[in-house]
A and B are shown apart, each in its own frame.
Chain A
Amino acid sequence: MNRILKKRVLAPAVKLIEVENPFIAAKAEPGQFVILRVYEKGERIPLTISDYDREKGTLTIVFQEIGKTTTLLGRLEEGDRILDLVGPLGKPTNLENLQRVVVIGGGLGTALVLSQVKEMHKKGTRVDCIIGARNKDLIILEEEISPYCENLYIATDDGSRGHKGFVTDVLKKLLDEGNRYDRAIAVGPLIMMKVVSNLTRQYGLPTVVSMNPIMVDGTGMCGCCRLTVGGETKFACVDGPEFDGHLVDFDEVIKRTGMYREEEKLAMELLQRSLEGGL
Chain B
Amino acid sequence: MAESKRKPNLAKTKVPMPEQDPQARVKNFEEVALGYTPAQAVEEAKRCLRCKEPHCIDGCPVNVQIPEFIRLIEEERFVEAYHKILEMNNLPAICGRVCPQENQCEKLCLRGEKGEPVAIGRLERFAADYAASLPENGGKPAVRDSQPKGRVAVIGSGPAGLTCAADLAKAGYRVTVFEAFHTPGGVLVYGIPEFRLPKSIVQREIENVKSLGVDIQTNMVIGKVLSIDELFAQGYDAVFIGTGAGLPDFLRIPGENLNGVMSANEFLTRVNLMKGYRFPEYDTPVKVGRRVAVVGGGNVAMDAARCALRLGAEKVYIVYRRSEEEMPARREEVHHAKEEGIEFRLLTNPVRILGDDAGWVRGMECVCMELGEPDASGRRKPLCKPGSEHIVDVETVIMALGTTPNPLIARTTPGLELTRFGGIVADEATGQTSREGVFAGGDIVTGAATVILAMGAGKKAAKAIDEYVTAKRQG
Q: Which residues of A does B touch, CB under 8 Å?
A: 23-24, 27, 37, 41-44, 68-69, 83-89, 216-217, 219-224, 226-228, 233, 238, 252, 255-256, 258-260, 263-264, 266-267, 270
CA distance A222 to B284 in the complex (A): 14
A256 pairs with B359, CB closer than 8 A: yes
Contact of B285 among A85, A217, A227, A264 (CB under 8 A): A264
Counting from the closest, the 3 A-B pairs by CB-CB distance are A255-B359, A263-B285, A221-B246
Query: Could you tell me the distance in whole angstroms from the C-beta of B253 to the nearest C-beta in chain A?
Result: 11
B285 pairs with A221, CB closer than 8 A: no
CA distance A228 to B408 in the complex (A): 22
Tell yes or no: B252 within 8 A of A by CB: yes
Known: A44-B274, A84-B218. A233 touches B256 (CB 8 A): yes
By beta carbon, the residue of chain A nearest B403 is A221
1/0 per residue, CB under 8 A from A, across B97-128: the answer is: 00000000000000000000000000000000
- Chain B residue contacts of A228, Cβ below 8 A: 257
- Chain A residue contacts of B224, Cβ below 8 A: 27, 87-89
- Chain B residue contacts of A260, Cβ below 8 A: 285, 287
Query: Could you tell me the distance in whole angstroms from the C-beta of B376 to the nearest C-beta in chain A?
Result: 26
B265 pairs with A222, CB closer than 8 A: yes
Query: Could you tell me the distance in whole angstroms from the C-beta of A205 to the nearest C-beta in chain B?
Result: 27
List CB contacts (< 8 Å) of B217-239 with chain A. 218-221, 224-226
B225 pairs with A220, CB closer than 8 A: no
B247 pairs with A220, CB closer than 8 A: yes
B269 pairs with A223, CB closer than 8 A: no
B225 pairs with A219, CB closer than 8 A: no
B285 pairs with A216, CB closer than 8 A: no
A266 pairs with B262, CB closer than 8 A: no
State the total of A-B contacts with C-beta under 8 angstroms: 108
B284 pairs with A43, CB closer than 8 A: yes
Tell yes or no: B446 within 8 A of A by CB: no
B182 pairs with A224, CB closer than 8 A: no
CA distance A69 to B224 in the complex (A): 25
By beta carbon, the residue of chain A nearest B259 is A259
By beta carbon, the residue of chain A nearest B227 is A27
CA distance A84 to B181 in the complex (A): 9
CA distance A224 to B246 in the complex (A): 13
CA distance A226 to B279 in the complex (A): 23
Contact of A41 among B218, B221, B269, B283 (CB under 8 A): B283
Query: Could you tell me the distance in whole angstroms from the C-beta of B269 to the nearest C-beta in chain A?
Result: 6
A86 pairs with B182, CB closer than 8 A: yes
Query: Could you tell me the distance in whole angstroms from the C-beta of B396 to the nearest C-beta in chain A?
Result: 11
Contact of B270 among A37, A68, A216, A221 (CB under 8 A): A216
B269 pairs with A217, CB closer than 8 A: yes
Contact of B269 among A89, A220, A222, A255 (CB under 8 A): A222
List CB contacts (< 8 Å) of B234-280 with chain A. 246-248, 250, 252, 256-257, 259, 262-263, 265-266, 269-270, 274-275, 279-280
A224 pairs with B225, CB closer than 8 A: no
CA distance A119 to B281 in the complex (A): 42
Known: A219-B408, A226-B257. A267 touches B252 (CB 8 A): no
CA distance A257 to B209 in the complex (A): 40
| Interface size class of chain B, counting residues whose CB lies under 8 Å from the partner chain | 35 or more
CA distance A226 to B257 in the complex (A): 7
CA distance A41 to B358 in the complex (A): 30
Query: Could you tell me the distance in whole angstroms from the C-beta of B326 to the nearest C-beta in chain A?
Result: 25
- Chain A residue contacts of B408, Cβ below 8 A: 219-220, 238
A86 pairs with B180, CB closer than 8 A: yes
A24 pairs with B266, CB closer than 8 A: no
- Chain A residue contacts of B256, Cβ below 8 A: 233
CA distance A256 to B361 in the complex (A): 12
A224 pairs with B266, CB closer than 8 A: yes
15 A-B pairs besides A44-B274, A87-B225 with CB distance below 8 A are: A27-B226, A41-B281, A41-B282, A85-B219, A87-B221, A89-B224, A216-B266, A219-B406, A223-B263, A227-B257, A228-B257, A256-B259, A263-B287, A267-B280, A267-B283
Query: Could you tell me the distance in whole angstroms from the C-beta of B118 to the nearest C-beta in chain A?
Result: 37
- Chain A residue contacts of B280, Cβ below 8 A: 263, 266-267, 270
- Chain B residue contacts of A259, Cβ below 8 A: 259, 287
CA distance A88 to B180 in the complex (A): 11
By beta carbon, the residue of chain B nearest A83 is B182
A23 pairs with B257, CB closer than 8 A: no
- Chain B residue contacts of A226, Cβ below 8 A: 257
B283 pairs with A43, CB closer than 8 A: yes
- Chain A residue contacts of B269, Cβ below 8 A: 216-217, 221-222
By beta carbon, the residue of chain A nearest B217 is A23
- Chain A residue contacts of B246, Cβ below 8 A: 219-221
CA distance A102 to B474 in the complex (A): 60
Most A CB within 10 A of own CB, among B225, B250, B265: B225
Most B CB within 10 A of own CB, among A43, A44, A83, A221: A221
Query: Could you tell me the distance in whole angstroms from the C-beta of A269 to the nearest C-beta in chain B?
Result: 9
A223 pairs with B250, CB closer than 8 A: yes
- Chain B residue contacts of A220, Cβ below 8 A: 246-247, 406, 408
A252 pairs with B359, CB closer than 8 A: yes
- Chain A residue contacts of B358, Cβ below 8 A: 255
Most A CB within 10 A of own CB, among B219, B256, B406: B219
Query: Could you tell me the distance in whole angstroms from the C-beta of B258 to the nearest C-beta in chain A?
Result: 8
CA distance A57 to B262 in the complex (A): 37
Query: Could you tell me the distance in whole angstroms from the C-beta of A57 to the nearest C-beta in chain B?
Result: 13
Known: A41-B282, A88-B224. A233 touches B250 (CB 8 A): yes
Query: Could you tell me the distance in whole angstroms from the C-beta of A154 to the nearest C-beta in chain B?
Result: 35
